[in-house]
Structure 1
Amino acid sequence: MPKCLYTRAQGSAVPDAIPLLICDDSGMARKQLMRAMPRGWPFRITQADNGQAGLEAIRAGLGEIVLLDLTMPELDGFEVLRRMREERLQAQVIVISGDVQEEAIRRALELGARSFIRKPADAGQLEQALLALGVHAPTIDPSLPAAELDLPSVGFRDAFREVANIAMGRAAELLARVLGVFIKLPVPNVNILEVAELHMALADAQGNRQVSAICQGYIGSGIAGEALLIFHDSQISDVARLLKHQSGNSSPLELQLDLAAIVIGACLNGICEQLDLQLSSGHPMVLGQHCTIEELIRVNRNRWKRTLAVEISYALEDHDIKFDLLLLFTEASVQVLQRKTALLIN
C-alpha cells in the first residue's frame, strides 16, 4: 500500500480532510503537484508511483479525489480509468498528463475523468478543477503557516525524465496531427551510458533488423548533443503511406527527414521551454541507411563515448510502426542540465 502523507495545519491533522490521491510515476511530478495544491485546503494526501498502486489506493478509500497521470508503468492512466469504471469506484478524477494529444484528452474524459490539465500543472487551473468537483475553499488566516507536506525526494534523473516526458508528449501531439493517428507513449528512459552500454540499449530495442537513422545536432546554453531518430526499414513504406496525403511525390528518405525534423524539433523545444535554454539545431542528416545497430554504433562510436541518453519509443496505434528517438547529451552538458533541473526541483 502506498505511504499515506498528511496535510497539516499548525502541526495538527485536519480532522475531516478529504482523501486525495496523486498517482504519477515521477517523484518530480508529484512534488510539483503538491506544491501547486491550494494552500490550507482540507486534503489528506496519498502518493502512488504507478497505476496498479494507485488503483489499490482507490479501492482502499484513499482517493475520493485522484490526480492521475496517463503515462505510467504497471497500469497506465487509461487502464486505471477503465478498471475504475468496471468496478464502479466512485473517485473523482482529474487527469494531469504530458500526453496532450486531442485523442488522449477525448479518451480520458470518455472514460470518466472530470477534467484534463496539461503538465506541468498550473496552480490556478488545478484550483479551478478542484472547485468544479465541489470542493469548498476554506477561509484561511494569512498569519497561519503554510501546510507541512512530506514532499518526495527528487534526484536529477527523475527530474530530467519528467522534463523529457512533457517534451515527448508535445512532440506526440504534433506528430499525431501530421500523421492522423494516435501515438502510444512510453515512460522515457534516462541514463548516463558508455558507448558499449548505449550499444546494448539500442540492440535490445532494435534486435537484428535493418534500420535507417536520421541525426540532428544541437548546441547552446553550455549544452551540446545529437538527436537520433531510428526507423525499422520494414516500416518506412508504412510511414510514407501515412504521409503521402501531405507530401505528394516525396521520396521515402525525404519523408524520414521531414518526420525527424518534426519529432526532434518539438522534443527539443519542449525541453528548452521547461529549462529556460536556447539551443540551435543543425539540419537533419542521414546517419545510416539499411544497416544494423552494430554497424551504426561502429561507425559513430567515437562521436558518442560517454553520454546522457534519453530514449523514447513512439508506437502508432493500429499500425505496425514504431520508431525510437534518442537524445544524446555530451558528458560536459550534464552539469548544466543538473543546475537547470535543480531550479525545478527546489
Structure 2
Amino acid sequence: MSAWLRRGTAATYAATLGVLLLGAPAAAAAPSAPAPTGAAAARKAAAPPASVDARLFLYNEHGQAAVAPGDTVTFVMSTAGYPENVPQHKTVVLELPEGVTFRSATNQHASGPCVPDAAGRKVTCTTQDPVDQLPATNGAWWVTTDFSDELPLGEYVTAKATLTTEIPDPEQDNNVSSWDVFVATTGDMSVAISAPPGPWKVGDKFDATFKVHNFGPYRAPFSLSSGINPVSGLRYSGWPEGCGFDPGEMQCTFGVLEAGKTFEFTMRFEVTEYDADGISLTPTIYPGNQDTNAANDKASYRAKIIKPSASPSPSPTGGQAGGEPTLPITGAPAVPLAAAGLSLLAAGAGALLLARRRRTS
C-alpha cells in the first residue's frame, strides 16, 4: 500500500509540475467566456461614428398640467440621436427657476445619477458605466422638484436643460430644451355656444360661435374639446389655430386668457346628409386654474335635420305583344269621344230611314 501511495504522490507531483511548465497550453485549454451576441456584439464590433446629432427633450411628467404653490413637479430629460443607439457618455445640466428646488432623483430607469448643487437649483445628471448597457442606454433622467409657496400666482416659471456629449455633435441647437410650468390658483371660467335653432335641410349652412370667458381673479391657460355630430353628415371649417380633429371631436389648446376677458371663434357648418339623431355640438373647457364652478365648463347645441321627402317613382308605360311600344293617347278624353261617335252613328241611321220613306211614298 505504501508503494502505491508513493507512486500516486509522484504522479501527482509530476502532473502539477507539467501544468506549471506548460502554463500557456493549459490556459488555452480552459473554457473561454461566451462571446457577446446580438446588439451588444454589433455595438462592440462597430467603431463609433465620427459625430452624432444628439437631441434633448425636457418636459413635465404630467404634461401641460398647471402646478399650485407647494406642489411637486417631476421633470423628465430624454435624449435621442442620429445615428441611433450609439453608446456614449452624456451629461445633462438642469437649471431650475427661482422658487423651485431639487427634491430627489430616484427613478430606477435613469441613465445615471443626478446631483444638485448647494442651492438645489442646478442639477447635473450623468451616464453611468457601462454606457452600452441598461440603464445607461435609456438616455433619460427624472428629477423631482419642490415648488415654493411664494411663487407668483397666474405666472409661468421656466426650467432649462443643456446636453453635452462625448462624441462631437455637429448640431448644438437641439441640445438645449426648456419647459414652462403655469403656477395655478383658483378661478372661474365658462364656455357657451350659440347658433340658429334650425331645423336644417341637407345642403343648409349655418354658423356656430364658441365663447370662453375668464371671470378671474387670475389669468389662466385653458384647453377645449367639443363633440361634433353627426360624424359623416356635417362638414365644417373656420376653426382657430391650436385645434385638431378626431372623428366626431375637436380638440384645442390655447394660451393664457386674462381675467375678465372673453375668447371666441366662429365656425361654418354644412349639413351633407340626413341623420335621425340630428346635430349635436358639445364644447367642454379645461381651465389651467382650479375651477370653482364646474357647472359652466360645458355647453351644448342641438338641432334637428329635416328628413328628405321620398321622390315620386315614374309610372310604367304599357306595351303590346312582342314588346312593341304603344303611342301615347293625345287629345280629348276617351268618354266624350265615344259619346260623340254614338251620336254620329244615330244621326246616320236616322238619315237612312228618312231616305227610304221618301222613295216609297
Q: TM-score, normalised by structure 2?
A: 0.17
Higher RCO (CA-CA < 8 Å; seq separation 6+): 1
Choose 1 or 2 for highest CA Rg.
2
Name the structure with the higher strand share.
2
Q: TM-score, normalised by structure 1?
A: 0.18
